[in-house]
Structure 1
Amino acid sequence: MKKLIVTFAFLGFILFSHAQKVIEWPEFKGTTAPFIKILKIELHDTATVMDLRVHFAPNNWIRVPEETWIQDSKGGEKLYVKHAKGIKINEKHFTPENGLNEYTLYFPPVDDDVKTIDYMVSDWKIFGIELVPGEQFSFFPEELLGSWLRTDGSNEWMYGFFDELVIYDSEIWKQVLISQKEDIYQLMLQKKGKKKKLVVKQKGDKLLIGPDEANLELFSKEQTSKSDFVIPNDEEFQLPVFNQDTAYYKGYINGYDPRMGETGMVYADNVLASAQESYLITINDDGTFSASIPMIYPQLLYVRFMRTNESIYFEPGKTTFRFFDLSRHHDDPEPGNLFMGATEKVNRDLLAMKDIRYFDYNYMREKILDMSPEQYKEYNLEIKRKEQDALKEYIQNNPVCKKAQQIKDMQITYRNAQNILSYNMNRTSAYRRKNNVPRDQREIPLENEELDSGFFDFIAAEEINNPLAVTTGGDYDIFINRLKFSDPVRREGIIAVGDQDITAADFEKMGITLDSQNKELLNRLATCETKDDLAGFMIKDSAEYMEFRTKYDEIYREIRLEKLNNIREQKRREGFREYFGFDSGFAWDIIKAQDVSQRMKSSFKPLAEYQIENLRSDFENPFIVDYLLDQSAELENEIARKEEAFSNKSGFVVNETPDAKDGDLFDTIMKKYEGNLVFVDFWATWCGPCRSGMERIKPLKEELKNRNIRFVYITNPSSPKKTWEILMPDIDGEHYYLTQDEWNKMAARFKVSGIPHYVLVGKDGSVLKDKVYFASSNAELKKMFEEYLD
């Protein structure tokens, strides 16, 4: 009750006292939340009062948590919010239909000598809010400052003049000499031996800019609309689409503060490897940033940067320049985020059309359990028609470049196809959500719907095989994935390669010549046509055959896997032909390339000679052949490096499996680690998710290296011994290689139905969790570890 009285007294004083100072629309240095506007700040002896307006999507909620504070920009005490009007602290507040939230926050008073403050709440931060108007230093007269766009109707951003730099020609120029003669400014720009001259002349609220007085062009801060504008040099994508080179992402963040974050990430889809490759964006203290991105074709890349997630178009060998203005104020007329350079027009057009995307995943999940396959298909096709109509209308009313048109049109096609192909998967997901089925429960009482060939007539073979589709980035990659695992293609039935299917010729392909005795042994085995024949062979020749199998066990497994893959490939090809109308062409090359690439990664083996010989006859596209050969050569070099490092690298321990005749093997292994928390990873060298999980957890292991926690890795003979040894130097921890019987017993104890499978063991050797869910982030895992470490 006392706290409540104090709060009311505090508020009462504020409401009836006069503000010492009122700052309307205060200036600030930068913000991570441009949708927040500070309308007014009142400085009282007893409080700091801040009026805010937040633009947000209607019916979506915002919240002011208790951990909202203001602080002197130079540091010092955090002044936490005490009260709010128009919103309740720590409660969800739903945005009205007009998209505007207006409320007032009350903080403790700031000291009289504080000139700027920061407003801090979660990811919504505003830096350098001016309580005392500061003198803004600038190389340039105020009339030159800002971003300047062409007025010919293209609205292309060509120049940026800011306090201490110039942006021009996709470069940041900090060495600037400026002189004035009457109403004309001359700018000399220098950078690493390069020089540029600019002449600038004011014309009303616009500028005339050019390399000299005879070649001045009119520029404006605001966009110019011209109905007769024609995009110059407007070209569609041309074949061949593959082009191996490096793309560059660089730019400038106006109003940057290092507390906003010092890095970002670019994620590039590689459709040939069915992989997403990540590249770091580094931000310098002055707000400049850069990244280098190796690419093999132009495409949309997913960029996570400055708390925004978006798709940006890049081309190999070209620079995409980006400008972020985080210092924009309520009355700034110019655009806040701009592109410059070779990809400027494509990115600007795609950004303008990003809202032409009408598929609502949540709505679909609510309705799909009541939809038949045909109803679901028609529901998606209707969305596709609406998006295509909206695209057509937008293009009719706006000058959109041909590349942007192609990408957007293909995005609509392949996203729609993804959704239709995901019918049974989405249906299962909706059922799990509706019935709260936990993710570790594999079996559910819902059978997949049978889909006939007519269900799959929504996309033509020419669209599936369109090489230009890779420019959509992840959209085509995901479509290919859905195609590979679509219901009709996965109906393989039981595929088996029997012992009698392995021949001496198979060994010859692997570079191994068998002696006449072993050839004769395999010939006798090949004549077995019935189970009785095979049983008779095993009775008569089992000792000789087991000796042969033991000698060539790893080679035998490779041959068996190769034959299984060939059978699967043939069945998949038949499915594509029957249901989708193609069994060759670009998509087929992509799917085969993914298989080859993933087999190299999972087995950690480069291509064998016989596989290299088959490549050029197996693929229609020569670039894909060269790419796979390069991948094989890189893998060979990596293996050589790892083999050299195997004897030198510390951090991993290879353990002999202990004798556990008198007890459980797992418990016997765990005795070695008593007093430590133990994270056990059941894995295999060929398991992609296993190895990606290991990679993901590396930073957390490094963070916890001085704590009482051990990481134990257990595998079985399905991991080739040589591959296992090659991989270990990059997997710090304790390693065990079990026999098949040892693995079977351990797998039965922990109900290991698939890998990776994780078990957490306590300091006393007891099992704390026998099925740990490994989230995509390390945060959840660390929280669980901390609970038991403490």
Structure 2
Amino acid sequence: MPLLYYKPKYNYQIMRKILLLLIAMIAVTTQLNAKVKVVKNPWCDVSTTPQLQIDQLELSDTATVMRCTYYSNPGWWFIIAKGSWLQADGKKYVLKGTQNLKPNEREKVDSTGTRKFALVFEPIDPKVSEFDFLEGTAKGDFQIWGISTDKRNKGKITEYKDITESKEPLAMPEWRSGKGTLAGRIIGYRPEMNMKIEGSSRSAINSNGKDFYTDIAPDGSFSVDVPMYATHQGVYVHIGNWYGILVLTEGDTCRVTLDLTENTHRMGGSRYVNVRNRATVPDLNRLHCQGPLADVNNGITTPEARMVIWNRMPRPKKGQTISVEEFLKQRKDWTEKKMKAIDTLRIGERAKQVVRLHEYASAIQTVQYAAPYIGQGARMGNENILMHKELDTNNMMIAYSGEFDSVINSFEFAHFSDSLFVERMKKLSEPINEKQKVGETIASEEIEALNAKIKQYVNEYRITHLGTDKGPLFEGIEAAEASRAMETDTPLTDEMLAKLSNPVIREYYTVKNEKLRQILEERKKGNNFTIYETPSTDGEHFLADVCKTYEGKAIMVDFWGTWCGPCRHAIKQFDSSGMKAKYKDKGVKFIYLTDDKSPEDIWRNMASGMDGDHYRMTPKQSHELFSKFGFTGWPSYLVIDKTGRYVYKRTGYRADEISSAIDKALE
């Protein structure tokens, strides 16, 4: 008879519960021993953004917990970097964990306009009275400085006196090639904030006006000269984390104070949401301006004025469009709504006038770039150019808006919005277009005659609708044409200079013209470029013959034209980015191909400033190569490796793709 063994049955469920209870008791004991110090709504000296608020600190010997709220529009997202840290007395405390948030991932704001979460750091030294929170030191990173571990507010907010509004009407700006100065101080600034002073001159005299920028001194002070085209003009500028429009006076200084401490405490998170939702919040997150037009600048930089300025006409839902008639009605209604909103602003009348001028410019641009509303390719009638008459844009007061260059551009190309005018131009261009399709040679006289005829029709179109051929809009167009001509490194003729009707603009281009002539003379002494005779073979054999010279080398071929703005921009970008110098040092050869659409004298001038080898294709060669590689326009690119294999072909400049292709060709 087999022996029977008794095996006792253990209740594992009961044992598991007992174990969990013990763990919980240990955790509670640890927490009690930790002596958590809670500080609600702790004071901080300054923050780089009012959107991130610290609701509560929990300080213990096991962790430092920051319970936060992020404020923004519902559905918008933000990211907290995994490498965020606290710092105090030269020591760094790393992020250990989070609650209700995943570091380095997009976190959406909920329907209330908030998102609550907690950041858990290493425990800070209990002797520390204040510390800093840094997400990083790059531009735009969250930073909160001087977070107090005490329960009392220890800071002070500066009070600023209001500027009395001038009763003088705004002066009519005049053309001027000069400069103004923007100077001031950012209170509460730390060098780790990595802020800049930068903006765009957006010159109405020179369409290639350069941006301006300067670093901020450790004490928060700054000063920068701003190129100006008028005696008074609006300028878009970044001052630290502030962005908006300021009106500068030529030859004078606009002084501004950005008080980060004031903005940190008066611009609480919930108030930020109200401002984003276009509520009236008159005294938050603003600049304090002194100097010429101080009353105007203090008015247009208030949050309520800025919200009116930035509030654009809503677009249809993605994938939807509206009829031209409905678009024009909505545009008119929207402008009327904006004008009523401007009337209610609690700022001076002179500041309101500048905001109105900005809205006129915005309305003009909405009609010019109507594709998001009416669909790509849809055209209107003469509504675009008629708006210039309706809003009286043919006067220098528009310079106050900061958008005069855009208004001039809209007026210059208003005819492209008119379907009847476009059809008329298509018929004029048909003979030349047909020749281009089959690769026939087009005489330069034919092109010049066509361009002259089109220019005549465009001038007639403008005069018919505006009732004049004089005024700042026309002077601005003359300046834009001169600027585009000089983009091609081609000096203006005496006749072209004489056609510049405004003496200030004419003097500006006379000086610029002489400098260009000197540059071209210097280039002739260099040997960085070579113009070769073009082999008289068909397209495919022509390219093979050209590349034989560079056998065993990686090659980049750039199909470009002097008349092609994107081509010129890409060439400058490729050069200024340092990519060209980098690959030249590695032995890459650069070939530039153009055709007869580029006037030969302009081509030679531009080629002299482009390091590389240059060839001028016949229309037949150009047509055959574009067909072979499937190019659809200019600029287009080929990259050829050391064995002669094509590793890249594409229309349109994409720096990253070209760089990757050249790296591959060098392998």
Query: How high is the TM-score relative to the length of structure 1?
Result: 0.66
Structure 2: where are the runs of 5+ without partners? 1-19, 268-282, 433-440
| Distance in 1 (alpha carbons) for counterparts of 2:577 and 2:375 | 34
Say which of 684, 687, 698 aligns to 2:564.
687
**Aligned amino acid, residue 394 of structure 2:** N
Indicate the residue corresponding to 2:508 in structure 1: 630
- Aligned-pair CA distance for 1:316: 1.4
Q: What residue identity is the alignment partner of 1:568?
A: I
2:124 corresponds to 1:124: no
Bigger Cα displacement from structure 2, 778-787 vs 32-41: 778-787
Within 5 A, what are the aligned runs for 1:127-526?
Answer: 128-129=145-146, 147-150=158-161, 155-156=162-163, 231-238=165-172, 241-261=174-194, 263-297=196-230, 298-328=232-262, 331=265, 337-352=287-302, 353-357=305-309, 360=312, 363-364=315-316, 366=318, 369=321, 371-394=322-345, 398-402=346-350, 404-424=351-371, 426-429=373-376, 448-449=378-379, 451-452=380-381, 460=389, 463-474=392-403, 476-481=407-412, 483-487=414-418, 488-490=420-422, 491-495=424-428
CA-CA distance at 1:127 after TM superposition: 5.8
CA spacing shift, 1:72–1:766, aligned 2, 3 Å? farther
SS at match of 2:398: helix
Counterpart among 631, 634, 646 of residue 767 in structure 1: 646
The answer as to whether partners of 2:395 and 2:473 remain within 8 angstroms in 1 is: no
How many percent identity over aligned positions? 19
Rounded to whole Å, the distance in 1 between the matches of 2:539 and 2:567 is 31
Instruction: Judge conservation of contact 1:38–1:51 (CA < 8 Å) in 2.
Output: yes
1:196-228 alpha-carbon deviations (Å, 9 max, x no partner):
xxxxxxxxxxxxxxxxxxxxxxxxxxxxxxxxx
Asked if 1:586 corresponds to 2:471, the answer is yes
Please say if 1:746 is aligned against 2:625. yes
Q: Deviation per CA, 1:355-395, whole angstroms, max 9, x where unpaired?
A: 225865663354852x221111101111111111111222x
Instruction: Tell me the matched-pair count.
Output: 606
Higher RCO, 1 or 2 (CA under 8 Å, sep at least 6)? 2
Alpha-carbon distance, 1:669 to partner: 4.1
- The structure-2 alpha-carbon separation of the partners of 1:565 and 1:625, relative to structure 1 and needing over 3 Å to count, comes to farther
Please state if 1:84 is matched with 2:88. Answer: no
Provide the C-alpha distance between the structure 2 equivalents of 1:48 and 1:678, rounded to a whole number of angstroms. 58
Mark the CA change 1:40 to 1:767 in structure 2 (over 3 Å): closer, same or farther. farther
**Closer/same/farther in 2, CA of residues 37 and 626 from structure 1, 3 Å limit:** same
Give the aligned partner of residue 527 of structure 1.
none
Q: Which residue of 1 aligns with 2:85?
A: 70
Distance in 1, Cα, partners of 2:148 & 2:344: 48
Contact 1:602 1:686 in 2 (8 A): no
**2:631 maps to 1:755:** no
Report if aligned partners of 2:66, 2:120 keep a CA contact under 8 Å in 1. Answer: yes
1:611-639 Cα deviation digits (max 9, x unpaired): 44555xxx4xxxx2441343144123222
The SS at the match of 1:597 is helix
- Secondary structure of the residue that 1:256 maps to in structure 2? coil
Larger deviation, residues 652-661 vs 337-346 = 652-661
Partner of 1:52: 68
Q: Partners of 1:367 and 1:663 in 2: how far apart?
A: 42
8 A Cα contact 1:679 1:711, kept in partner: yes
User: CA distance change for structure 1 residues 591 and 485 in 2, over 3 Å: closer, same or farther?
Assistant: farther
- The one-letter code matched in structure 2 to 1:416 is A
Q: 1:788 offset after TM fit, Å?
A: 7.4
User: Which amino acid is the alignment partner of residue 346 of structure 1?
Assistant: V
Secondary structure at 2:637's aligned position in 1?
A: strand
Matched letter for residue 375 of structure 1: E
The residue that corresponds to 1:643 in the other structure is 521
Change (3 A) 1:660 1:263: farther
- The 8 Å contact of residues 604 and 635 in structure 1, kept in 2 or not, is answered as no
Alpha-carbon contact 2:93-2:123 (below 8 Å) kept: no
Q: Secondary structure at the match of 1:385?
A: helix
Q: 1:106 is matched by which residue type in structure 2?
A: V
Q: Specify whether residues 273 and 561 from structure 1 end up closer, same or farther in structure 2 by C-alpha distance, changes over 3 A only.
A: farther
Write the letter of the residue equivalent to 2:398.
Answer: A
Counterpart CA distance in 2 for 1:672 and 1:125 is 55
In structure 2, C-alpha distance between the alignment counterparts of 1:119 and 1:753, rounded to whole Å: 48
2:257–2:288 contact (8 Å) kept in structure 1:
yes
Structure 1 residue 589: Cα displacement:
1.6
**C-alpha deviation, 1:326, in angstroms:** 3.2
Letter in 2 for 1:574: E
Deviation at 1:691, TM superposition (A): 1.8
CA shift, 1:274, in A, is: 4.1
Write out per-residue CA displacement over residues 140-193 of structure 1, whole angstroms, 9 at most, x where no aligned residue. xx99x764422xxxx13xxxxxxxxxxxxxxxxxxxxxxxxxxxxxxxxxxxxx
Aligned match of 2:577? 699
Residue identity in the other structure for 2:307: D
SS state at 1:292 partner: strand
**Residues 730 and 36 of structure 1, relative CA distance in 2, 3 Å threshold:** farther
Distance 1:107 1:677 in 2: 52
- 1:596 has 2:481 as partner: yes
Equivalents in 1 of 2:65, 2:382: separation in Å? 66
Alignment CA distance shift 1:149-1:567 (3 Å): same
Task: Give the match's secondary structure for 2:481.
Answer: helix
Residues of 1 paired with 2:536 and 2:63: CA distance?
Answer: 72
Maintained 8 Å contact 2:534/2:615: yes
Distance 1:146 1:483 in 2: 51
Q: Displacement, 1:764?
A: 4.4
User: What is the SS of the residue equivalent to 1:285?
Assistant: coil
